[in-house]
Amino acid sequence: MPHTLVIIPTYNERENIEPIVTRVLAAVPGADILIVDDASPDGTGVLADALSARHTNVHVLHRLAKNGLGAAYLEAFTWGLSRGYHRLVQMDADGSHRPEQLPGLLAAADTADVVMGSRWVPGGAVRNWPWHRLALSRAGSSYSRILLNLPQRDVTGGFRVYSASALERMQLSRVDSLGYCFQIDMLLHAVRAGLRVVEVPITFIERTHGRSKMSGGIVLEAMARVTLWGLSGRGIRRPRATAPASSSRTG
């Protein structure tokens, strides 16, 4: 059994799924792929089944409805852990996460529990985004990390590698975010569990086919939820500084 499972959630990604699977197989030929399709009306699931029939290391998990990215990943994690994979990768189907950068993330996973592909560390970049989307993404990530006391820079990024032991320690049953907040929620659980989390710079590229599921309303809804988390004390608590002990002299 290969040690690595690359999880690719899909909803209406018919134009993108075959190219991305081909690129993943070329970049990490020893890995397995799990396509998690949320009953795409454009036939993505049918095409995924055809890819699985051609490649023994491509698997498909069909879900009955579009219930959110987080729910798709949580079901996929359960699927992968039950089959003994050592490392589980999250990545988008639309090409924004470059499969050619997977070997670098997996190499970092040799000494880390969680590896995050980061746009906002030195060496990271975003291509082909309009300025307003770039500003919204950076502001959302900064707001979340400050309010929740997270040390990582790209807290909303979705190109990640988790070790199986990390997922088992993160109490996934308590992750209740299904949408845009899912990545932030997962990071909170990882940091709380005392896991070693590292960020590796990546170049994020805007999709060329299909429509993005992201919108300003989705981001604002997520930021409202992060605000509630911060106000309710759900963020990471930093240890209080201890005052130096006073000393007295007698002479």
Per-residue pLDDT tens listing for the chain (251 residues): 469 999 999 999 999 999 999 999 999 999 999 999 999 999 999 999 999 999 999 999 999 988 888 999 999 999 999 999 999 999 999 999 999 999 999 999 999 999 999 999 999 999 987 777 788 778 878 888 888 999 999 999 999 999 999 999 998 988 878 777 899 999 999 999 999 999 999 999 986 665 655 555 566 677 777 888 877 766 666 544 444 443 333 33
Using only the alpha carbons of the chain, give its radius of gyration. Answer: 20
The H-or-E segment that residue 59 falls in is: strand 58-62
Best CATH choice for the domain 4-231 from the list 1.10.10.10, 3.90.550.10, 2.40.160.10, 2.60.120.380: 3.90.550.10
The Cα 212–Cα 104 span in angstroms is 26
CB 89 within 8 A of CB 161: yes
CB 34 within 8 A of CB 91: no
Residue (of 95, 117, 106) closest to 18 by Cα position: 95
Contact 28, 4 (CB under 8 A): yes
Residue partners of 50: CB distance under 8 A and separation at least 6: none
Judged on CB neighbours under 10 Å (0-12, 13-18, 19+), 176 is exposed
pTM for this prediction: 0.87
Paired tokens of 94: 């639309």
Q: What are the structural domain ranges in the chain?
A: 4-231
